[in-house]
Structure 1
Amino acid sequence: MAQVPFSEPPWLMGLPSPIYNNSHRKWQAAIRPLIQKLLHDRAVEWDVGETVPEHVFGEFAAANLLPAALPAPLPVEWLKRLGIHELPGGLKVEDFDSLHSAIFGDEMTRSGLAGPGGSITTGMAFGVPPIIKFGSKAVQERFLPELLTGKRRACIAITEPDAGSDVAGVTTTAFKSDCGKYYIVNGTKKWITNGIWSDYATMAVRTGDPGSGPFGLSLLVVPLKGHPGVSMRRLKVGGQVSAGTTYIELDDVRVPVENLLGEEGHGMLYIMTNFNHERMAIAVGATRQARVALSSAFAYVMKREAFGKPLIQQAVVRHRLAKAGALLESQSAWVEQFAYQMTKLPRNKADKELGGLTALLKAHSGMVLKECAEVAVLLFGGNGFTKSGQGMIVEMIYREVPGIRIPGGSEDVMLDLAVRQLVKLYQSKTEALTAGPGAKI
C-alpha cells in the first residue's frame, strides 16, 4: 500500500540512506509492532482519560524496552549483571547506539502524542542517567538494580515554581542534620513529569549559601512515594496530559547523605550534561508529532471536497503543505545527522561539540511542530478544532505544541544558549590554536 506523503522519514519510505545499517533497520522492524500493541493501540483513549494504566510500564519492562530510553552507550555491565543481554529484535545491549535511541524515540511517539510514551520513558530517560554517570558504587548498588528492571521508578526534579530554564535559581535547600547523617530537604518542585508514580527523584538542591548561584547546586536522590515529609499532586496541563505532571512539596525530608550524586556544588555541571539527552529526545519526538499532524492533513485534503473539487486541487492548500513539508524534512534530516554524529564521537566530546547545537535543535523542533500542527488544524477546518472525529488527533497535537517549546529549556533561552555556547567553543578553539601544538581545546 502506498504511504501518505510525509508520513514516514525517507529511510522508511523505501529511499536509500547512508546513515542507517541493517542493525537499525532490524531494530525498527522489531519494535514497531511491539510498541503498537503495548501502547499505540490505546494511546489516544488513555490520553483522553489522562492516565496510562500502571501495568503498561511493567509490560515495557518485561519486554526489555525500558533500557532503550537511556542515552547511548547503555550501561552494559549493569544490564548484563541484571540478566538483560539483548533488547527486542536480538539487539545486543553493547551494540545499542544513538541511532537506535532515536529510532526508539520516534516509534514511541508514532501515535502523534507525547503523553502516553512520556508516561513510560521520561523518568528512565532523564532521572536514571545521573545515577549511572555520577553515583558512587554504593549508590548505584542501592538504586540501579530495581530502576533498570522497572521494579521501581525515578524522575528528574529540577524545575520549581520560580526556577525553570534558569536552573541556577533553584531554591530547594538541602542542609546536613546535626548528626551529619542526613540532608534535610525543604522546598517545592513543579512540572515534574512522572513524579506522581516515582519512588525516587534525582533532584537539584541547594547545598550552598542562598547567593551561591550555580556553584551551590548539588544532585541528590530523594525518596518520594510514601516518604515522610513528601507530598505530591498531579497538575492539570494543556497537553501531554497522561504523562503525570506533578507538584512536589518537601517539608524537612530526611535523605541519607550517601544519596548525594558526585560532589557537592557540582550539580549544575551534572544537570547540563543530562540536558543534552533530554533535548535530543524532545526533538526526536516533536519531529514525529509534526509528521503525524502533516501527513494526517495531507490524507484529509486528498479526500475532502470544497467548491466542487478535492482540497488538494486548491493551490493555496498545496502551498501550505509544501512549506510545512520542507521544514519537516529539513528538521528530520538534522535529527538524523545529530544521532549519526553521536555514534562517531566520544560522549564527552559530543557533549562539548554538540551542546549548543542540541539546544538549537530542540528549539527548532518546537518551531517546526508549531508550523505543521497549525497547518494541519487549518486544513482540517472545523474538524481540526473539534475534540472528536476526523480531526481529533491534530487538535490534540496542536495543544501539545507548548509542551515542546517550553520544557527542557524554553525556546528563547535555548536560542540564546545555542549562540553563547557556539561563541564559547569558537573562542576556546581559537585560543588553543594561538597557544600552539599540544594545547588542550
Structure 2
Amino acid sequence: MTINVRPTGAATTIGRSSPFFEEEHDMLREQVRRFVDEEIKPHGEAWEAQGFVPREVLRRMGALGFFGIRYPEALGGSGLDTRGSVVLAEELGRSTFSGVAITALVHTDMASVHVFNAGSRHQQDNWMGRIIAGETICAVAVTEPDAGSDVKGIRTTARRTADGYVLNGAKMFITNGVHGDLYCVAAKTGNVGGGSKAVTMFLVEKGTPGFRVGRALDKHGWRSSDTAELVFEDCLVPHDAVLGDEGRGFYAIMKNFQNERIVIGAMAMGEAQAALDMTIAYVKTRKAFGQPLWDKQAIRQRLAMRAAEVEAGRQLVYSAAWRDARGEDVTREVSMLKAYCGELVNAVMYDCVQFHGGMGFMRESAIERMARDARVQAIGGGATEVMLEEVAKRL
C-alpha cells in the first residue's frame, strides 16, 4: 500500500524544512511522527518487557505504507529514494524506543532489499507484496560468532547437490531472528577460505528442516528488538533459493552497506535529538541550589554545543542521502557519517544522563534506556574503527 501523502494544510507541522527534501518527504515525516506519538510511545515499555514488537503493529506499519517507501508503486510501494528511508529512520529514532526502530529498519532497509535487488521475478512475485504489507518480516543473516564487519570471513557453507543446496553453520546477533519469517542468508559456496567470489546469498523460510533458532539473545539495549543465534544443520534449500547469482553475495552485501549506514546514521541523529529535547526540558525545571539547572552556564553551553554537533551530523546524513539518490558515489561520506553519528549519539547520551543526575541512572527514566540503546550504534552496521579505515583509504 502506498503512503498517503495528501497535504494536510498550507504547510506541514514538522517544524523544519530542508533543501535536501521534497514535499512528499515532509508529508511522510509528519505521518511517521504521528504514528510514533500515537502508536509507539504509549506501548513501547510493554514491548521492551516482552522483548519484541507485536506482529499486529508491524502489519499496521505495512498498511500505512512505511514498509514500501523505497519500492516501486507497481509492487505496492511509494517509489521514494534514499531520503525516504532517512525520514523513516530519523523519526523512528526520535521515538526513544530504538528496539522498535531497528526492528522496522532491518526489515525495510537491510534485509528485504536483497529480495528486491537480486531476487528473481518468481521470488519477487512470491514475497514482495507480503513484505511491503508487513505480513512477512525479513531478517538478514550475515554476521557469525567469528565474522562481523569481515564478511569474507564467514564460515557457513552451502554445498550444491542434485536436490539443492545444503547449508551448515551458525549466525549470530541476527535482528528479527526469533520472530522473522524470511531470512536472507550468506554462505560460502566456493572455497571456505576463499575471497569475495565464494559468498552466495540464499532465501531461507522459517520452518525449513535443518534450520532453527539456536537461542534468543539477551541484550544490553534494543530490548524491544528480538535478536537470535541461528543454526543450520544439513538445511536443504532448493536451487531457486539462491538470491541473484552464485558467488555474487559479497557484492550484494557491499552494495547495500551504503544505504544501511545512512539509515543507521539517521536513526542515531533522531535518538540524539530526542535525548537533547528531553534533557533541555528537564534542566529548565529541575532546580539545584535554588536555581534551574539551565541557569548554570556550564550546563547550557554543553547542551548548546551538543545541539550544534547533532545538527552537523544530521546535515551530513541528509547530504549523503541526497547525493546517493542522485546516483553519486558516497562511500567516503557514508563511512564518515557512520563513524561520526555512532560516536556522537553516545557522547550526547552520556551528557544527557549526567544532567539528569540520579534520575538518569534509574530504569524508570527514558534517558537511561536511550543511553543503553545508543551504545550499539558505534558497533553495528560497521564499527567506528572499520569506518575510519574506509575514510582513511579515501583521504
* Cα pair distance change 1:160/1:292, threshold 3 Å: same
| Residue in 2 that maps onto 1:78 | 75
CA contact 1:24–1:99 (8 Å) conserved in 2: yes
Q: Give the drift of 1:13.
A: 7.0
2:268 counterpart of 1:292: no
Return the TM-score normalized by structure 1: 0.82
Q: Partner of 2:6 in structure 1?
A: none
Offset, 1:197: 1.4
Residue type of the alignment partner of 1:362: K
- CA distance in 2 between counterparts of 1:66 and 1:287 reads 21
Change (3 A) 1:16 1:282: closer
Aligned residues: 383
Alignment of 1:169 with 2:146, yes or no, is: no
Contact kept, 8 Å, 1:44 with 1:111, in 2: the verdict is: no
Greater CA drift, 192-201 or 98-107: 98-107
SS in 2 for 1:128: helix
Say whether residues 1:229 and 2:230 are aligned partners. Answer: no
Q: In 1, are the aligned partners of 2:93 and 2:269 still within 8 Å (CA)?
A: no
1:406 aligns to 2:383 (yes or no): no
Q: Looking at CA atoms only, which structure, 1 or 2, has the larger radius of gyration?
A: 1
Instruction: Name which of 81, 104, 120 aligns with 1:136.
Output: 120
Q: 1:120 aligns with which of 81, 92, 104?
A: 104
**Consecutive unaligned residues in structure 1, runs of 5 or more:** 1-10, 85-92, 424-441
Aligned with 2:235: secondary structure? strand
What does 1:6-405 align with in structure 2 at a 5 Å threshold? 14=15, 17-68=18-69, 72=70, 74-79=71-76, 93-94=78-79, 96-177=80-161, 180-223=162-205, 225-232=206-213, 233-343=215-325, 345-346=326-327, 350=328, 353-388=329-364, 392-405=365-378
Q: Which runs of 5+ in 2 are unaligned?
A: 1-11
- The Cα of 1:14 is off from its aligned counterpart by 4.3
The answer for the alignment partner of 2:388 in structure 1 is 415
**CA shift in 2, pair 1:110/1:15, >3 Å:** closer
What do residues 55-74 of structure 1 show as CA deviations (whole Å, max 9, x unaligned)?
Answer: 11122222222213xxx4x2
Query: Tell me, what secondary structure is at the counterpart of 1:331?
Result: helix
Which secondary structure does the structure 2 equivalent of 1:195 belong to? coil
Between the aligned partners of 2:153 and 2:98, the Cα distance in structure 1 is 28
Alpha-carbon distance between aligned partners in 1 of 2:285 and 2:153, rounded to the nearest angstrom: 52
1:24 CA displacement: 2.5
- Provide the rounded CA distance (Å) in 2 between the counterparts of 1:164 and 1:301: 40
- TM-score (normalizing by structure 2): 0.92
1:78 aligned partner, one-letter code = L
Deviations 1:33-77 (A, max 9, x none): 234323222123322432222211122222222213xxx4x2333
CA distance in 2, matches of 1:164, 1:290: 25
Query: C-alpha displacement at 1:372, in angstroms?
Result: 0.7
How far apart are residue 12 of structure 1 and its match? 6.8
Identity rate, percent = 29
The Cα shift of 1:135 comes to: 1.6
1: CA distance between counterparts of 2:18 and 2:242?
44
Tell me which moved more, 148-157 or 193-202: 148-157
Identify which range, 14-23 or 51-60, moves more after superposition: 14-23
**Contact kept? 2:92, 2:270, Cα under 8 Å:** no
